């Protein structure tokens, strides 16, 4: 009997390796469409921080968030978790009620990687994170692609129980941009659009000016009635979004809510 081309292609569709010991990331019904909206409506945003944990800036960010009662999402890199002070910072992030996102074991761009290569890296980072936290089933419900270069990563992340997390409104606080406090402060202001996910960095370089800008803008926004939540279902006008980014199109609800 001749198998149809469509059936043959379906039978060869990529699937993650069978591993009865693997514990998924914890997202509920993740999709392959990167999510880039905050839960809630109106003057609500989700703060996210990439490339940590990083002694110094991550500590300052956590101190500030605790002072203002803000929950955020930290997209962490495995080699930074393994670096001196990284594991302690990760445990603090979790202990203070923030949410983790897998950001790969290193700063490597995964856009051209094979399914298997991506799978190995994401699973390795889950192990690093969970061993540092001391919980083999610690929830890591999001994955954000390094450099926003998705390739095959969104499909792999969803299959491993992590919702791909889009870039949202970026403040352009990475090398090659104007990293002065006035510019980053202006960028932070512009990133506050209703329902947006805001992307800043607490690692990957000297992020002290990012922290300074955040400390200037966020209290003003709180006074103006803005609230802070996690990425999820919402509406947003992404005036500062990266061109070509996929729109929000999936939901994620924490298992205990």
Which residues have a catalytic role annotated?
Answer: 50, 201
Sign of CA dihedral 35, 39, 44, 47: negative
Closest CA to 93 of 132, 150, 145: 132
Q: Are strands 169-170 and 99-102 parallel, antiparallel or unpaired?
A: unpaired
Alpha helices in the chain (DSSP H): 5-11, 57-68, 78-82, 86-95, 115-133, 153-159, 181-191, 208-223
DSSP β-bridge partners for residue 52:
76
DSSP β-bridge partners for residue 40:
234
Dihedral angle over CA of 63, 64, 67, 68, nearest 10: -150
Q: How many Å apart are CA 146 and CA 216, to the nearest integer?
A: 27
Angle at which helix 57-68 crosses helix 208-223, to 10 degrees, equals 10
DSSP β-bridge partners for residue 46:
197, 229
DSSP state of 40: B
């Amino acid at each position: 009997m001749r198998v149809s081309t469509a059936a043959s292609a379906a039978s060869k569709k990529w699937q993650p390796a069978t591993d009865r010991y693997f514990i998924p990331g914890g997202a509920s019904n993740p999709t392959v469409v990167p999510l880039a909206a905050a839960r809630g409506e109106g003057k609500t945003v989700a703060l996210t921080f990439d490339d940590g944990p990083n002694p110094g800036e991550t500590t300052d960010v956590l101190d500030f968030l605790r002072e203002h009662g803000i929950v955020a999402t930290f997209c962490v890199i495995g080699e930074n978790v393994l670096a001196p002070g990284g594991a302690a910072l990760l445990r603090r992030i979790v202990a203070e009620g923030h949410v983790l996102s897998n950001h790969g074991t290193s700063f490597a761009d995964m856009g051209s990687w094979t399914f298997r290569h991506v799978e190995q890296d994401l699973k390795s980072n889950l192990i690093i994170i969970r061993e540092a936290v001391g919980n083999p089933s610690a929830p890591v419900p999001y994955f954000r692609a390094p450099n926003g270069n998705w390739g095959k990563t969104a499909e792999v992340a969803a299959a491993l129980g992590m919702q791909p997390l889009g870039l949202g409104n970026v403040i352009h606080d990475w090398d090659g941009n104007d990293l002065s406090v006035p510019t980053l402060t202006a960028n932070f202001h512009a990133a506050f659009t209703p329902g947006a996910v805001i992307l800043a960095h607490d690692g990957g370089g000297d992020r002290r000016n990012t922290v300074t800008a955040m400390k200037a803008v966020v209290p003003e926004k709180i006074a103006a009635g803005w609230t802070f939540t996690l990425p999820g279902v919402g509406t947003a006008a992404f005036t500062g979004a990266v061109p070509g980014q996929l729109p929000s199109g999936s939901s994620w609800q924490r298992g205990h809510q």
